[in-house]
């Protein structure tokens, strides 16, 4: 893409990156509803700084509990709506499929990122994927983005590689704005 006519974006996982994940047995889970929703400290400030630097801010999130029947679509949409009202997010891309659906949009596949890139003329080589799980990082790599892994030491598979490893979203913002 011609960088003169294209946008740069920060692709953000939702749970664990912009809002607190619910941790059980050192594994992250999404909030069930608005009562469980807590935006992580300094996220608004970091997003404002990225926005000022000219980045589009796009949430890319797997929400398979809808397909599994353990979460209501309305609750997921209410959480995204609250985040949209509170944070300067340009777009929410959500995959509601489960592991067995073999869809192109479920991370670690890059579909959510690629769909946004086409719709918003995003230069993926000038963009970042920020996530706290291996699926986020692999999706970002498959799409051609630089990747930032927020390492919370979850008890689960880790990404095989990443461009940067950080302890917080604030640290990720500092790297991006360098």
List, run by run, the mean pLDDT of 10-residue segments along the chain (178 residues).
71 98 96 96 98 98 94 96 98 93 94 98 98 98 98 96 98 98
Q: Give the C-alpha separation, 148 to 146, whole Å.
A: 7
Q: Give the C-alpha separation, 167 to 83, whole Å.
A: 22
Element (H, E) at 34: none
- b/e map of 52-66 (b: 16 or more CB within 10 Å)? eeebbbbbbbbbbbb
Topology of the domain covering 3-177: Rossmann fold (3.40.50)
The predicted structure's pLDDT at residue 1: 37
The predicted structure's pLDDT at residue 146: 98
CA 117 to centroid of chain Cα atoms:
14
Q: What predicted TM-score, i.e. pTM, was given to this entire model?
A: 0.95
Catalytic site residues?
13, 15
The predicted structure's pLDDT at residue 4: 53
Q: In 3D, which of 119, 116, 142 has the Cα closest to residue 11?
A: 116
């Amino acid at each position: 893409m011609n960088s003169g006519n294209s946008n740069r974006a920060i692709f953000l996982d939702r749970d664990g990156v912009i809002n607190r994940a619910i941790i059980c047995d050192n594994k992250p889970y999404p909030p069930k509803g608005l009562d469980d929703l807590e935006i992580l400290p300094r996220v608004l400030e970091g997003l404002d700084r990225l926005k000022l630097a000219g980045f589009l801010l796009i949430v890319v999130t797997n929400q398979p509990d809808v397909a599994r029947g353990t979460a209501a679509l309305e609750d997921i949409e209410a959480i995204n709506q609250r985040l949209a009202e509170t944070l300067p997010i340009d777009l929410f891309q959500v995959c509601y499929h489960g592991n067995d659906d073999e869809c192109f949009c479920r991370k670690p596949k890059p579909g959510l990122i690629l769909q946004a890139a086409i719709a918003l003329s995003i230069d993926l080589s000038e963009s970042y994927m920020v996530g706290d799980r291996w699926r986020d990082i692999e999706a970002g790599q498959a799409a051609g983005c630089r990747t930032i892994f927020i390492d919370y030491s979850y008890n689960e598979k880790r990404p095989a590689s990443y461009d940067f490893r950080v302890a917080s979203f604030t640290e990720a913002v500092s790297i991006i704005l360098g």
